[in-house]
Chain A
Amino acid sequence: MIKSLDPRITRAEIELTNTIAPLEENDQWETYEVFHQKKRGDQHMHVGIVHAAHPEMALLFAKEQYGRRGQSVNIWVVKTRDVYTTDYEDSDIFDTVPEKMFREAGGYKVMEKINRYKKEHKI
């Protein structure tokens, strides 16, 4: 057990254990999701995963697995377990009732107004 240098933690008797336990044989490090950015200003895109012992190592590996062809300017790694996801069983939440014309751009008769304006001003 690690004894904290912070007296408040020592008083609270919180057990500080080393969170990095040695791997068992044939065990794997946890995975990190890798996102790369092709150009500064572009969105980062998900490109795959790497196994790593800690974030810095994940960056090392991500660079070689996904960035070595010289097509990246930046890489993000995120622990897979820190990614929250919807369930495929719930994919019907993305369905929407098609009759809601007021939600569609076409629901607004804007084009008509635009065309009338254009005609009036001879644009």
Chain B
Amino acid sequence: MNTATIKELLYKVADDLLIIGHRHSEWTGLGPILEEDISFSSMAQDKIGQSQALFQLLYKLGEPEADTNAFTRNANQFCNAQFVELPNDEYDFSTVRHFLYDHADQLRFEMLAHSSYEPLAKLARKVKGELKYHVFHANTWMVKLSQGTEESRARMQSALNASWNYALGLFEESKFEKELIAAKVFEGEVALKSKWLSAIIPFIEKAGLKLPPEKEWNPVNGGRKNFHTEHLELLVKEMGEVFRVEPHSQW
């Protein structure tokens, strides 16, 4: 297994976590109620912490230091899925994205916990509890908001429709897919997507929502290959602003 293959895998997972972590953190101080504000912000910190751990693995493989890597790249050097860079919009969209993304994230780390690449497997086992909470949180809100009022149900359904094809883009395959599977580093995006569908469908049904018809499924790919929406550029600029002003400052 050459390091380029491992690095590509680490980068996409790290970038997803960093970008969604940043998006989640934008809700800090604006959450619907105090307790939820704290919970959501805390999960944002978890995500950023998880990405930091992955950037540290990358550093050991010869990539730049975690902060430099996170805060000085340009948008067209990121390989997160486009789904995670979309603006927060309202709490309906943020909740649906949190639900769809976190199920995928949890399952991905469950698979990675058995990776033949031991540093990654070790990390995956370490974050198990955090991810379990994130999914518990997502399931609760997804079902609750969908079963609230007529308006809340309609908003959740329309957020799900708007998210769906972007969410499918989380499973965009790597050019190293076969090698990763053969070397038992990662079971692959196809396997992950199928586990993900089995995991989320019961909750979507419980929530009383409907998935878009399968013939309309059309993954928004490109993120893994550095193609992004205009939103990422603004996000990256803001996220790295302080670091870029004073890269050597101590925190």
Contact = CB atoms under 8 A, between A and B. Distances in A.
Interface stretch (B6-14, B30-38, B73-81, B161-169): B30-38
A61 B148 CA distance: 19
Given A22-B149, A29-B33, A68-B42, A63 B133 contact: yes
Contact of B39 (A28, A29, A60): A60
Contacts, number: 32
Interface residues of A, number: 16
Nearest to B151: A22
Contacts of B144: 53-54, 57
A111 B122 CA distance: 59
Given A57-B140, A60-B137, A63-B133, A22 B148 contact: yes
Given A22-B148, A22-B149, A56-B140, A51 B33 contact: yes
Contacts of A22: 148-149
Q: Which of A50, A60, A63, A65 has the most CB of B within 10 A?
A: A60
A42 interface: no
Contacts of A64: 35, 38-39, 42
Contacts of B148: 22
B122 to A, nearest CB: 19
Interface residues of B, number: 15
Nearest to A64: B39
Nearest to B39: A64
A78 interface: no
A61 B133 contact: no
A63 B33 CA distance: 16
B217 interface: no
B133 A51 contact: no
Interface string B32-57: 01111011001000000000000000
B176 interface: no
Interface of B: 33-36, 38-39, 42, 133, 136-137, 140-141, 144, 148-149
Interface of A: 22, 28-29, 50-54, 56-57, 60-61, 63-65, 68
28 contacts: A22-B148, A22-B149, A28-B33, A29-B33, A50-B35, A51-B33, A51-B34, A51-B35, A52-B35, A53-B144, A54-B144, A56-B140, A57-B140, A57-B141, A57-B144, A60-B39, A60-B137, A60-B140, A61-B35, A61-B36, A61-B38, A63-B39, A63-B133, A64-B35, A64-B42, A65-B35, A65-B38, A68-B42
